[in-house]
Amino acid sequence: MISNRVLFSVLTIAAGALALDRAAVVLFGSEVPVQPNVVLILADDLGFGDLSCYGNRKIQTPVLDQMAGEGVRLTSFYAGCTVCTPSRMALLTGRYPLRWGWRGGVIGHRIPPVNGLSPQALTMAEVFKKSGYVTSISGKWHLGDSKGMLPMGQGFDASFYITKSNNQTKKIFRDGKLVADPFNNRLLTEQFTNEAIHFIRSNHTKPFFLYLPYTAPHFPAQAHPDWKGKSPLGAYGDVVEELDSRIGMIMKTLSEVNLDEKTIVIFMSDNGPEPGQKKWAQASPFRGLKWSSLEGGNRVPCFVRFPGVIPSGQVNNDLTAAIDILPTLSRACGIDLSKFPAANLPAMDGISVWDTWIKKTDSLHARSELLFWHGWGTLQAIRVGQWKLYVDKVDEISGSEHGPVLINLADDFSETKNLSEQFPFRVKTMKELAIKRLAEIEADRIPIGGPKSDIDFSGRRSKWLE
């Protein structure tokens, strides 16, 4: 049995929605509500067990460990999907990627670069920008290469980015203009960090939203010269340890410009470890890697830090997902999402979990269910509470070729014990719920952005939902 320190985490914040205003009085010396800054940091292919605060004993991540200890570590947090593009669609919009026409794959790998997140989508950057924030991205975009689908057309005032993964392109752009071709992969983490620091220093007197989607530790993992050979896990470990140190530079900058207590910082990963890096990366205690709907495919590290508002040393194991980040941050920052035009937009799938983050004792945790897709676009599972039902044939799940497989995640982290025969009614109700939710999404979605493609985006149906 894994220890509570390794497995469980709590994300709590010191008062309710109204209490944030009161906290703002204490923290900011103002009698009116203020807009906290937001720094959203996204690692690429970082596994659940890749940080020392999540149990890794070979990779040293003291900065991230301290950040997690000063806020809250979540241990039942799920990325937006099991691969890059749909994961980012979900995170930045608060909606399942199927709502935006995604049916499998990533930009440049099944999805043509001319396609991507529809310009019609309302992104997190647009929400913050329209609420008086200055917005910036520094890192990997991977939501489309065409005009209108690039960061400048999706709500970012400033942008320094690569359009796809670091194994798919060699070009860096700033505000749509090419600034490096080829880039040096070993220096990307440093460059993205420096750009982010410049943005913070240039905008420290204004409320800002900074999105920092690093390419590390996505393959090819190539160590920066100053970190080469520092980790016993080769270049992969070196890259993660550099990432930890660079984020320390971000935190130091926030402190130097007196924004440490005025900034919400979130750290998470976009999905589980890349199969080609499984020799070094860790999803333990879970099975499954990137692309997979198993726990290791998209249960990832996530913690949130907001000094004076989020109590330190918290641990929370409630079901939470990347689609919840947008509505939760909006509530934390006093942004009313209902005021944004909803015409022609699919329904929001994310739920504000602010009451959980602030440890409000008189309300239940908002999220009770979640759907899981394979990276090739098939709905494969649904989780309700501690129960997960596989509704598709999954190679790694024994028995799934014969029917739905029911897992109790409370004590079966490796997902090896099929309890479907013991709990047939639970199987029935969860299957019915999955059918209902999928039908709702299918009926309320828009086409993928860009021109129509010859590629069939229909997707394979779940075997046990037919």
Residues belonging to the active site: 84, 142
b/e for 185-207, b at 16 or more Cβ within 10 A?
bbebbbbbbebbbebbeebbeeb
Instruction: State the Cα–Cα distance between residues 305 and 251, nearest whole angstrom.
Output: 11
Helices (H) and strands (E) in the chain, counts: 11, 18
The distance from CA 83 to its chain's CA centroid, rounded to whole angstroms, is: 11
Could you tell me how many residues make up the chain? 466
One-letter amino acid identity for 140? K
What residues form DSSP beta bridges with 265?
39, 305
Q: Which is it for strands 314-316 and 72-74: parallel, antiparallel or unpaired?
A: parallel
Instruction: State the Cα–Cα distance between residues 314 and 323, nearest whole angstrom.
Output: 22
DSSP annotation of 395 reads T
The four Cα atoms 105, 327, 439, 444 give a dihedral, to 10 degrees, of -80
Instruction: State the Cα–Cα distance between residues 448 and 457, nearest whole angstrom.
Output: 9
Instruction: State the Cα–Cα distance between residues 273 and 279, nearest whole angstrom.
Output: 10
Whole-number Cα distances in Å, 269 to 58, 77, 78, 91, 214: 19, 10, 9, 11, 9
Catalogue the E-assigned strands of 214-283: 263-269
Render 174-215 in DSSP notation, one character per residue: ETTEEEESS--GGGHHHHHHHHHHHHHHHTTTS-EEEEEE--
Q: Which of 196, 188, 180 is nearest to 217 (CA)?
A: 188
Place of tokens 């997190």: 124
Q: Which is it for strands 158-162 and 172-174: parallel, antiparallel or unpaired?
A: antiparallel
What residues form DSSP beta bridges with 320?
77
DSSP annotation of 461 reads P
CB neighbours (10 Å) of residue 423?
A: 15
Instruction: State the Cα–Cα distance between residues 281 and 283, nearest whole angstrom.
Output: 7
Provide the CB-side half-sphere exposure for 401 (13 A, CA): 3
Place of tokens 């194994």: 167
